[in-house]
Amino acid sequence: MTGAPRATTTRVPKIRENLPAPQTPEGLLFHYTPYEAAPWTPFSGRTLTDKIAARELDYVFNGRDSYLTGAQILALVERYTRRPFAKHKSARAA
C-alpha cells in the first residue's frame, strides 16, 4: 500500500430543531439524545455518551439508541449541583 494516508472524517451528531426544554411539561417525557441533552447538563454530549455506556447514568434504551428524558436530565443536573455552604449560627450570643 503506497500513497498518503486517508483523511479521517468526523461524524457530527444530528440535533433536532425546536426541542422542548426539559423542565416543561412536554419536555419531562421527551427523549433527548446525549448530544441534544448536553446544553442543559454540566457535561458534553460525548461525556454523556461515555457515562451512559459505562452505565453511570439512568437512561432509556430502545434496543438501538440511548436517550435521556427531561426528568432524567433534571435529576442529573440536581445531582451535580453544588449548593452554597450555609454558615451555622454561633452557639454563644455576641
Cβ atoms within 10 Å, residue 28: 16
pLDDT for 2 equals 67
The answer to whether residue 5 is domain-embedded is no
pLDDT for 30 equals 95
Helix or strand or coil: residue 38? helix
The answer to whether residue 50 is domain-embedded is yes
The answer to whether residue 34 is domain-embedded is yes
pLDDT for 91 equals 59
Domain count, the chain: 1
Measuring CA to CA, which residue among 46, 47, 39, 50 is closest to residue 73?
A: 39
> Strand pairing partners for 67?
60
Each residue's pLDDT tens digit, 13-29: 888 899 999 999 999 99
pLDDT for 82 equals 87
Domain with 45 in it: 25-79
Full-model pTM: 0.76
Listed as ranges, residues in the chain with pLDDT below 70 are 1-2, 90-94
